[in-house]
Amino acid sequence: MKAADSQIQGALMVQGTTSDAGKSTLVAGLCRLFARKGVKVAPFKPQNMALNSAVTLDGGEIGRAQALQATACYLAPHTDFNPVLLKPSSDTGAQVIIHGKALTTLEANAFFGPQSRGYKAHALTAVMQSYQRLTAQYQLVLIEGAGSPAEINLRQGDIANMGFAEVANCPVIIIADIDKGGVFAHLVGTLALLSETEQARVKGFVINRFRGDISLLQSGIDWLENHTQKPVLGVLPYLHDLHLDAEDALIPQSNSVTSSPVNSAERTKLKVLVLVFPRISNHTDFDPLRLHPQIEFSYLSLADNPLQSVIQADLIILPGSKNVRADLAFMRQLGWDKLVSKHLRYGGKVIGICGGYQMLGQHINDPQGIEDTAGCEQGLGLLAITTELMEHKTLTQVSGYLHLNGQQASFCGYEIHCGQSTSTLSGLATPIELTTASFAPKSDGQISADNQIFGTYIHGLFDQPDACQLILQWAGLEQADLIDINQIREQQLNRLADVLEAHLDVDKLTGVIA
């Protein structure tokens, strides 16, 4: 560690010209880069809107990207890393989670319209409480913005980008994605739409996802630095096959890890299909399946041919959902319920996780309108459970044993759901034995009498190599290989940090931290 690194004390905020410009990835890489140098560093995102979340050790939930960034810092996830999380439940409404706990559901006008003042004052207070705790505990806080700071219709009362940076008095760098085209217009245009004090706060730019000969870009960089009087701190290459937890966007198709020692080109593959609901949540559950060398992985969405997809599948997975009854209605509207039934008649296997587990049951009752309007929906009738949605959300990290086909595997995972499900038929196998120290041993989930359907509330089972292997064997892949997503994540974070160290002016970047 350099002496300068040991003296770092302050914060740096990464904002982007657009969504998906690379903010989350850059912050994660910087977290690992500085952590490897011995700097005590923590991630922070004031306000996040995402359906992928992680359960924290202090009993709350934060955005998946901040959990990844915590891992990059060698830290356990904490609610202070993402004090405000918005989880969309409809096209215009979202659940509001502050310091890890769900408070209410608000419509878009309450976030961004004339009525938003009360919410934003409350949210800003929570944001600054978390930020002050982090700056007191850590040498460096790396902050991720949301979307773009140049959304002029959302500037009033902003707490996610420059509004936060101004209150916290922290420096900002802006990242732009050159692969989408128009990178200089994005950077100059974003800067032009900021106020004078906000422009002064911007200390430099990072150009992301560059392919080709860097010398061909140099004249543009020279012009940009001369025009804005701000440095380009680095040009990052396009990183093929970078496998890190997605903040929210689906990664469309199977993409096995190229470094896998297994050459499975001539081996039997298991065809896995995940249904994409409009409000799909925690789809990072399936990253180990996407990357598994023996799995042919695909998503089924509105635009796909469902009949062809289901015919080819060995295993269909119903994922989590932020609005289970609405997504179940969507499923029926497209006829996916009939396709799942046909899949089962032909001997296929089905897994339901969390909201998908609830859909497989007899009824889903929401008497208080927790996720939507109050009411009761008939389930798919494939498992002998009924579910009632309750105001109190279960948020807990769990451990225990998975039992399938007379074998068992240990696991660690998490629960994040409002529903409580009750078995309507005795004698059916429960695949999950929870032994978490914080509560008495209990069981979870259900296996159908014909052993074709497996439902559980537990997220993260596929993250555990032994448990994942056991599930794949149950699904029909008898010689399933072990794949460790946690090891892959570590390899990819170190790879990312290496790239940043090679292509960023780290000394100049360190110099702008305040």
Which is it for the CA torsion 441, 446, 449, 450, positive or negative? negative
Please tell me the distance from the alpha carbon of residue 329 to that of residue 313, in angstroms, as a whole number.
22
Please tell me the distance from the alpha carbon of residue 207 to that of residue 187, in angstroms, as a whole number.
9
Residue 10: Cβ-neighbour burial (10 angstroms; 0-12, 13-18, 19+):
middle
For tokens 């911007």, the residue is: 202
- Strands 453-456 and 349-353, by their bridges, are parallel
Q: How far is CA 54 from CA 239, 320, 463, in A?
A: 25, 13, 13
Return the SS3 of 514. Answer: coil
Distance in Å from the first CA to the final CA of the chain: 19
Q: Around 107, how many Cα atoms within 13 Å sit in the side-chain half-sphere?
A: 5
Amino acid at 367: P
Please tell me the distance from the alpha carbon of residue 24 to that of residue 144, in angstroms, as a whole number.
7
Residue whose C-alpha is closest to residue 315's, from 302, 297, 294, 333: 297
Please give the angle made by the CA atoms of 426, 345 and 311, to the nearest 5 degrees. 135
Please tell me the distance from the alpha carbon of residue 446 to that of residue 452, in angstroms, as a whole number.
11
Residue whose C-alpha is closest to residue 15's, from 178, 247, 206, 154: 206
Candidate list 78, 403, 417, 459, residue with the active-site label? 459
Please give the angle made by the CA atoms of 47, 52 and 58, to the nearest 5 degrees. 70
- Strands 93-98 and 101-107, by their bridges, are antiparallel
Candidate list 31, 354, 418, 468, residue with the active-site label? 354
Number of other residues whose CB lies within 10 A of the CB of residue 335: 11
Partner residues linked to 292 by β-bridges: none
Phi, psi of 339 (to 5 degrees): -70, -35
Angle, in degrees to the nearest 10, between helices 23-36 and 485-503: 90
Q: Look up 283 and say whether it is catalytic.
A: no
Please tell me the distance from the alpha carbon of residue 204 to that of residue 512, in angstroms, as a whole number.
9
Residue whose C-alpha is closest to residue 352's, from 323, 380, 372, 310: 380
CA 169 from centre of chain: 28
Please tell me the distance from the alpha carbon of residue 115 to that of residue 109, in angstroms, as a whole number.
7
Q: Look up 354 and say whether it is catalytic.
A: yes
Q: What is the CA radius of gyration of the chain?
A: 23
Task: Please identify every residue annotated as catalytic.
Answer: 354, 459
